[in-house]
Every structure is written in structure tokens, then in C-alpha cells.
């Protein structure tokens, strides 16, 4: 047996050993049989490379792999409270959503779970839209994948290119399944309002299919060219506003407004959530940095009002880095920040 025949035999073994849908297995084996008749043709190598790459993607898709949902409301509330301060109405809505999933599962109506409206968090930059999607995945015990829509202008980014094109690959939807190694991950459709004007209509058309349970159980990626069941994926969307989202997509989502944070809320978030994480990531021991309560007004609003907490995060991280440098330079092992010395530590 020559080398080309051995390579084809190896691919046949891989396909037969993989957990692919039966019809897809048959289709791929037919293509390999056709390829075996071209071993002496000059087109053999490009065709072999193309089908080899295709089989690699096919075997990476989690056709039958899924995680077990954790629908315990006590656990979900604990995760949400651990990661997010306030947001009472948002948390209540999420717990209601999980309750519906739990009841549908208990009555044997698993297919109905996905018919709940897709949650879409709408709010200004830094108000926690993306991080709360992470928390939902953590609470449910699901894998997480994120697809950024900012600047996207081609629906093929989502749906993939035909294998007739050189270097063709699946779209971001299939890649999200591959990276999460699960057929039921949480997939965040991030900033769906920020697609380009030129590609908006066609991208919104793909979103309609993704978010419609009547259609997404047979989503066809151009590269895969075989229906993939997305009905168990939990899609979550975010947007800065709903103005640029098509009516058909709005009809399939439930917008939830993310509130802006007050200065008092930012102080609590900074003290109880951000500071500890920033210290841990910078290698500063617990207790080596303390900040007087009356200093937080300077930390929360060094440059004026900001609806979100990203400026606050940057300010605290900059402050912590200055302390880390001071420790390394031997200027002390613990630091107490007061109203008198705070300007020495605040990033300029």
C-alpha cells in the first residue's frame, strides 16, 4: 500500500471511530472513497488537504457532548451575589429564568426550555453586561464562549465560508461549540448593536435564525454543510442600546436594562469586589494594603462621572501596582492609604 492510500485509510479509521451523525459519516466516507481514486492525479494533494482539514473540524464538534445543568436556585443566587453587587431586579429575573428551566426539565419538557426569550442586557459601557453573562454560565455549570460583534461586517464571520474557498473555516458559532467542547454552552453575543452599517441587515438575518428555536435546531454553517443542533445552547446578548437592532431580532429577545452605578455603590464594589482581586493578581499579601473609608471618594471619581466601573477598576489596579512597586523597592511591607497620601498612589 502506497503512502497516499495509507493516509486515506487512516482518515477512514478516524471517521469511523468518531461520534459523528450517521448520515454525515456516510457522506464523508463516500468523499474519501472518491479521493482514493485520485491518488495518481495532480489534484490529489490539494483535495486531500481540504478533506483532512474538514475531518479535523468535524471530529472537534461536540455532537453528543453536553454538561449537566445545575438548576439549584440557592447556588445560583450565591454565585450572582459573589460576583455582582446590587442589580436586584436583574438577579430576580435570572432566578426566574432558571426556575422556568427547572420546572420544564422536571415535567419532561426539555425542548421547551429554549423557548424562553433570549436575555439581552442593555446598558452603558462598564455596567457589567459581559460579566453577568459569565456568572450565568458559572451558576448553571455550563461552559462559556463569547462572540464579539463590534465591527463585524460579514455574516460569513458567523456562518463560515464554503470549502471551495482556500483556507476556508467554520464560522464563529461552530468555533464556539468547538472551544467550549459542549453542545449546550452559554454563548454570549456581545454588543450585537455594534455591527457595521453595511453588514447590519445580513448579520441580523443570521441572528434571527440563531435565536429562533424553530430554526436553530438545524443551523447550517457553510463550511460544515450539515445541520448542527443549537437548540440546547443558551444564547445571551448584550447591547449598548437597542436602536440599531432589527425589529425581527428584538422580537426574539428580552431586553433587560443594566442600571448605572451611584458613587456609594461604586465604593462598595471597589472595597468588597475589585480591591481584593487586584491585590491577589498583583501578588500583594492580604492585609498589606489598607485604605481609609474617606479616601474612596477620590478613588471613585478622580476624573468626573462614569456610569460603569471600568474607570474605577483601572484606578484601583493602578493604585495597587504602585504599592507593588513600593514593596519590591523595599519601601515597606504594608501600606496604609489616607487622605493625606492618597495622591502619591493614584495613577495620574
What integer is the mean pLDDT of 24-28?
Answer: 93
- Cα 166 to Cα 169, 171, 307: the distances in Å are 9, 15, 46
Residues 151 and 232 grouped into a single domain: yes
Which of 206, 236, 257 is the C-terminal boundary of a domain? 257
| Same domain membership, residue 159 and residue 106 | yes
For residue 68, give the DSSP letter.
P
Q: Do 224 and 101 belong together in one domain?
A: yes
Q: 289: which residues sit within 8 A by CB, 6+ positions away? A: 275, 279, 320, 323, 334, 335, 337
Same domain? 148 vs 41: no
Residue 66 domain flag: no
Q: How many CB atoms are located within 10 Å of the residue 123 CB?
A: 21
d(CA 138, CA 42): 51
What pLDDT does 347 receive?
Answer: 74
How many structural domains does the chain have?
Answer: 3
**Residue 113 pLDDT grade (very low, low, confident, very high; cuts 50, 70, 90):** very low
pLDDT of res. 307: 67
pLDDT of residue 115: 52
- Above 70 in pLDDT, residue 191? yes
pLDDT higher than threshold 50 for residue 314? yes
Average pLDDT, the chain: 88
Whether residue 67 is contained in a domain is answered as no
**Last residue of a domain, which of 234, 257, 280?**
257
- The domain spanning residue 242 has which CATH number? 3.40.50.300
Question: pLDDT band at 278, cuts 50/70/90?
Answer: very high
Write the CA distances from 16 to 19, 27, 28, 254, 300, integer angstroms.
Answer: 8, 12, 10, 43, 60
The partner residues of 257 in beta bridges, in order of sequence, read 122
The residue out of 197, 232, 257 marking a domain boundary is 257
Write out pLDDT tens, residues 317-326: 999 999 999 9
Residue 276 C-alpha cell reads as: 481584593
For residues 128 and 229, membership in a common domain is answered with yes
Q: Are 309 and 128 in contact, with CB atoms under 8 Å apart? A: yes
pLDDT tens digit sequence for 204-244: 999 999 998 888 889 999 999 999 999 889 999 999 999 99
- 203 and 109 in a single domain? The answer is yes
Q: Which of residues 187 and 265 earns the better pLDDT score?
A: 187
Residue 237 within any structural domain of the chain: yes
User: Does one domain contain both 47 and 88?
Assistant: no
Kindly tell me if the per-residue pLDDT of 114 is higher than 50: no
Q: Are both 80 and 227 inside the same structural domain?
A: yes
In this structure, are strands 289-291 and 186-190 parallel, antiparallel, or unpaired? unpaired
Residue 68 domain flag? no
Confidence of residue 112 (pLDDT cuts 50, 70, 90): very low
Residue 116 has pLDDT above 90, yes or no: no
In a domain, 300, yes or no: yes
Residue 242's CB: how many other CB atoms inside 10 A? Answer: 16
261-283 average pLDDT score? 89
Residue 325 lies in a domain: yes
Please report, rounded to a whole number, the percentage of residues in the chain having pLDDT higher than 90. Answer: 56
Looking at residue 260, the DSSP 8-state letter turns out to be P
Look up the pTM and report it: 0.84
Domain of residue 105 covers 73-257
Pair (113, 187) in one structural domain: yes
Mean pLDDT of the region 48-66: 93
Amino acid at each position: 500500500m502506497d503512502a497516499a492510500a495509507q493516509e486515506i485509510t487512516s482518515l477512514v479509521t478516524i471517521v469511523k471511530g468518531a461520534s459523528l451523525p450517521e448520515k454525515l459519516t456516510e457522506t464523508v466516507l463516500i468523499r474519501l472513497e472518491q479521493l482514493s481514486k485520485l491518488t495518481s492525479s495532480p489534484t490529489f494533494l490539494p483535495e486531500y488537504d481540504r478533506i483532512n482539514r474538514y475531518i479535523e473540524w468535524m471530529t472537534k464538534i461536540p455532537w453528543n457532548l453536553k454538561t449537566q445543568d445545575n438548576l439549584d436556585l440557592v447556588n445560583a443566587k450565591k454565585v450572582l451575589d459573589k460576583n455582582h453587587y446590587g442589580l436586584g431586579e436583574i438577579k430576580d429575573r435570572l432566578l426566574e429564568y432558571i426556575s422556568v428551566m427547572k420546572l420544564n426539565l422536571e415535567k419532561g419538557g426539555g425542548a421547551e426550555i429554549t423557548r424562553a426569550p433570549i436575555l439581552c442586557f442593555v446598558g452603558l459601557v462598564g455596567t457589567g453586561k459581559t460579566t453577568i453573562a459569565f456568572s450565568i454560565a458559572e451558576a448553571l455549570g455550563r461552559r462559556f464562549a463569547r462572540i464579539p460583534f463590534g465591527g463585524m461586517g460579514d455574516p460569513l464571520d458567523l456562518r463560515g465560508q464554503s470549502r471551495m474557498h482556500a483556507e476556508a473555516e467554520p464560522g464563529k458559532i461552530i468555533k464556539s461549540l468547538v472551544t467550549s467542547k459542549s453542545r449546550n454552552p452559554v454563548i454570549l453575543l456581545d454588543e450585537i448593536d455594534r455591527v457595521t452599517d453595511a453588514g447590519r441587515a445580513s448579520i441580523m438575518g443570521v441572528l434571527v435564525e440563531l435565536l429562533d428555536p424553530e430554526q436553530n435546531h438545524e443551523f447550517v454553517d457553510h463550511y460544515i454543510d450539515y445541520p448542527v443542533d443549537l437548540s440546547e445552547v443558551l444564547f445571551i446578548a448584550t447591547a449598548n442600546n437597542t436602536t440599531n437592532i432589527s425589529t425581527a431580532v428584538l422580537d426574539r429577545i428580552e431586553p433587560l436594562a443594566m442600571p448605572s452605578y451611584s458613587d456609594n455603590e461604586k465604593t462598595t464594589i471597589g472595597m468588597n469586589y475589585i480591591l481584593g482581586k487586584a491585590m491577589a493578581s498583583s501578588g500583594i499579601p492580604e492585609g498589606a494594603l489598607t485604605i481609609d473609608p474617606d479616601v474612596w471618594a477620590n478613588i471613585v471619581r478622580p476624573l468626573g462621572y462614569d456610569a460603569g466601573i471600568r474607570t474605577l477598576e483601572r484606578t484601583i489596579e493602578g493604585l495597587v501596582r504602585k504599592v507593588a512597586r513600593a514593596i519590591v523597592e523595599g519601601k515597606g511591607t504594608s501600606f496604609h492609604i489616607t487622605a493625606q497620601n492618597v495622591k502619591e498612589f493614584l495613577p495620574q
